[in-house]
Chains A and B, each alone.
Chain A
Amino acid sequence: MFLINCPYCGERDQQEFKAGGEAHIERPKQPTELSDDEWAEYLFMRKNIKGVQFERWNHAHGCRKWFNMIRDTSNDEIKLVYKMGEKPPSE
Chain B
Amino acid sequence: MQKTLRVKTSEYIDETNSVSFKFNGKSYYGFKGDTLASALLANDVHLVGRSFKYHRPRGIMTAGSEEPNAIVQVNDNTDRTEPNVRATEVEIYDGLEASSQNCWPNVNFDIGGINNVISPFLPAGFYYKTFMWPASFWKKYEYFIRHSAGLGKSPKEKDPDFYDHKYIHCDVLVVGAGIAGILAAKNAAKNNLKTLLVDEKNELGGATIFQNREFNKIENQSSSDWLKKEIQELKNIKNLEIKTRTSVAAYHGYNYLLARENLTDHLEKKDKQGKIRQRLLKIRAKKVILATGALERPLIFNNNDRPAIMLSSAVKKYADFYGVICGQKTVFFTNNDSAYESALCLHYKGIKVEAIIDIRDNSDSKIVKAVKDAGIKIHWSHTVVNTSGYKRLKNISVMKLSNDGMSVTGNKVEISCDCLGVSGGWTPAVHLFTQSGGKLSFDEENKVFLPNKYPSEQISIGSCNGDFKINEIIKNLSKDLKDFLKIEQADFDNISVDSYEEKSKRNIWLLPSDKPIGKTNPFVDYQNDATAKDIRLALREGFRSIEHVKRYTTTGMGTDQGKLGNMHALGIIADTAGVKMGELGTTTFRPPYTPLTFGTIVGRNVGEYFDIFRRTPMNDWHIQNKAEFENVGQWKRGWYYPVNGETMHQAVQRESKAARESAGILDASTLGKIDIQGSDALEFLNRVYTNAWSKLAIGKCRYGLMLNEDGMVYDDGVTTRLGENHYLMTTTTGGAANVLGKLEDYLQTEWPELDVYLTSVTDHYATASVCGPNSKKILNKIIPDLDLSDDSFPHMSFKEAKVDNIKCRVMRISFTGEHSYEINIQASYGKSLWEKCIDAGKEFNITPYGTETMHLLRAEKGFIIVGQDTDGTMTPIDLQMDWIVSKKKYDFIGKRSLYRSDTMREDRKQLVGLITDDPKIVLEEGAQIVSELNQNPVQMLGHVTSSYYSPNLKKSIALAVVRNGKNMMGKKLFIPMEDKTINVSVANPVFFDEENKRLNA
Partner of B455, one of A31, A39, A40, A75: A75
Asked whether any CB of chain B lies closer than 8 Å to the CB of A90, the reply is no
> Given the complex, which residues of A lie within 8 Å of B897, measured CB to CB?
39, 43
Within 8 A of B (CB), among A1-33: 1-3, 13, 18, 20, 26-28, 30-32
* Interface size of B in residues (CB-CB distance below 8 Å): 23
- B762 to chain A minimum Cβ distance, whole angstroms, is 15
B residues near A31, Cβ cutoff 8 Å: 891, 895-896
Residues B704-757 near A (CB distance < 8 A): 709-710, 741, 744-745, 748-750, 752
Residues A43 and B748 in contact, CB atoms below 8 Å apart: no
Chain B residues lying within 8 Å of A18, measured Cβ to Cβ, are 741
| B992 interface residue (CB < 8 Å to A) | no
Q: A84 — which chain B residues lie within 8 A by C-beta?
A: 748-749, 752
**Chain A interface size, under 10 / 10 to 19 / 20 to 34 / 35 or more:** 20 to 34
A24 to B895, CA, bound (A): 21
Chain A residues with Cβ under 8 A from B749's Cβ?
A: 56, 66, 84
CB distance from B737 to the nearest CB of A (A): 9
Cα A76 to Cα B437 with chains together (Å): 9
**A45: chain B residues within 8 A (beta carbon):** none
B901 beta carbon closer than 8 Å to chain A:
yes
A32→B254 CA distance, assembly (Å): 45
Q: Which residues of B contact A75 (CB under 8 A)?
A: 253, 437, 455
* B809 proximal to A (CB < 8 A): no
Q: Which of B511-553 contact A (CB under 8 A)?
A: none
Q: Considering the complex, which residues of chain A in the window 56-85 have a beta carbon less than 8 Å from any beta carbon of chain B?
A: 56, 58, 60, 64-66, 75-77, 84-85
B908 at the interface (CB under 8 A from A): no
Q: How many A-B residue pairs have CB under 8 A?
A: 55
Residues of B within 8 A of A58 (CB): 741, 745
> Are A40's CB and B900's CB within 8 A?
yes
- Report chain A residues within 8 Å CB of B253: 1-2, 75-76
Partner among A13, A39, A60, A77 whose Cβ is within 8 Å of the Cβ of B284: A13
Give the shortest distance, in Å, between A2 (CB) and chain B (any CB).
5
Question: Do A66 and B748 have beta carbons less than 8 Å apart?
Answer: yes
* A41 touches B (CB below 8 Å): no
How near does chain B come to A85, taking the closest CB pair, in angstroms?
A: 6
**Chain A residues with Cβ under 8 A from B891's Cβ?**
30-32
Inter-chain CA distance A90–B605, complex, in Å, is: 46
Contact in complex: A34, B896 (CB < 8 Å)? yes
Q: How far is the CA of A40 from the CA of B256 in the complex (A)?
A: 39
**A91 at the B interface (CB under 8 A):** no
A43-B709, A58-B741, A60-B741 known; A65+B748 contact, CB < 8 A: yes
Contact status A43-B710, CB under 8 Å: yes
**A74's closest neighbor in chain B, by CB?**
B437
B890 within 8 A of A: yes
Residues from chain B with Cβ under 8 Å of A64 in the complex: 744
Chain A residue at minimum C-beta to C-beta distance from B257: A1
B243 at the interface (CB under 8 A from A): no
Contacts of B895 in A (CB 8 A): 31-32
Contact call B900/A39, Cβ cutoff below 8 A:
yes
B residues in contact with A3, CB < 8 Å: 254, 256, 284
Chain B residues near A34: list those with CB within 8 A.
896
Decide: B745 and A39 in contact? CB cutoff 8 A: no
In the complex formed, the residue of B with least CB distance to A60 is: B741
Q: Find chain B residues with CB under 8 A from A32 CB.
A: 890-891, 895-896
Q: Is the CB of A66 within 8 A of B745?
A: yes
Residues of chain B contacted by A1 (CB below 8 angstroms): 252-254, 256
Chain B proximity mask over A39-58: 1 for CB below 8 Å, otherwise 0: 11001000000000000101
Q: Please give the distance in Å from A86's CB to the nearest CB on chain B.
A: 12
Q: Which residues of B259-308 are within 8 A (CB) of A?
A: 284
A48 to B102, CA, bound (A): 45
* Residues 664-709 of B at the A interface (beta carbon under 8 Å): 709
Which residues of A are found within 8 Å of B256, using beta-carbon distances?
A: 1, 3
Chain B residues with Cβ under 8 A from A56's Cβ?
Answer: 749
A39: B residues at CB distance < 8 A: 896-897, 900
Residues of chain B lying within 8 A (CB to CB) of residue A20: 745
0/1 per residue, B405-438, Cβ < 8 Å to A? Answer: 0000000000000000000000000000000010
In the assembled complex, the Cα of A44 lies from the Cα of B741 at a distance in Å of 20
Name the one of A27, A36, A43, A60 contacting B750, with C-beta atoms under 8 angstroms. Answer: A27
Task: Tell me the nearest residue of chain A to B455, going by C-beta.
Answer: A75
Q: How many whole Å from B631's CB to the nearest CB in chain A? A: 22
Query: Which B residue sits closest to A78, measured CB to CB?
Result: B254
Provide the residues of chain B in CB contact with A77, threshold 8 Å: 455
* Residue with the greatest number of chain B CB neighbours at <10 A, chosen from A1, A3, A64, A66: A1
Q: B750 — which chain A residues lie within 8 A by C-beta?
A: 26-27
In the complex the two chains form, what is the Cα distance from A39 to B750 in whole Å? 16
User: What separation, in Å, do the CA atoms of A13 and B169 have in the docked complex?
Assistant: 12
Cα distance, A58 to B748, chains bound together (Å): 11
Chain B residues within an 8 Å CB radius of A36: 900-901
B258 nearest in chain A by CB position: A1
Bitwise, B349-361 to A at CB < 8 A (1) or not (0) is 0000000000000
- B751's nearest neighbour on chain A, judged by CB, is A27
Which residue in chain B gives the minimum CB-CB distance to A26? B750
Q: Is B437 within 8 A of A85, CB to CB?
A: no
Cα–Cα distance between A12 and B821 once the two chains are bound (Å) = 45
Q: Is the CB of B254 within 8 A of A2?
A: yes
Bound CA–CA A52/B32 (angstroms):
56
Docked Cα-Cα span, A26 to B745, in Å, equals 13
Q: Mark contacts of B894-931 with chain A using CB atoms, 8 A cut-off: 1 yes-contact digit, 0 otherwise.
A: 01110011000000000000000000000000000000
Q: How many Å lie between the Cα of A28 and that of B455 in the bound state?
A: 39
Say how far A62's CB is from chain B's closest CB, in angstroms. 13
In the bound complex, CA of A1 to CA of B896 (Å): 38
What is the CA–CA distance of A84 and B748 in the complex, to the nearest angstrom?
8
Which B residue sits closest to A76, measured CB to CB? B253
Q: Which residues of B contact A (CB under 8 A)?
A: 252-254, 256, 284, 437, 455, 709-710, 741, 744-745, 748-750, 752, 890-891, 895-897, 900-901
Question: Residues of A at under 8 Å CB distance from B?
Answer: 1-3, 13, 18, 20, 26-28, 30-32, 34, 36, 39-40, 43, 56, 58, 60, 64-66, 75-77, 84-85
Can you list the 3 inter-chain pairs with the closest CB atoms, starting with the nearest?
Answer: A31-B896, A1-B256, A3-B254
Given contacts A39-B900, A60-B741, 13 further A-B contacts (CB under 8 A): A13-B284, A27-B709, A30-B891, A31-B891, A31-B895, A32-B890, A32-B891, A58-B741, A58-B745, A64-B744, A66-B745, A75-B437, A84-B748
7 A-B contacts, Cβ less than 8 Å apart?
A26-B750, A27-B709, A28-B896, A31-B891, A39-B897, A75-B253, A85-B752
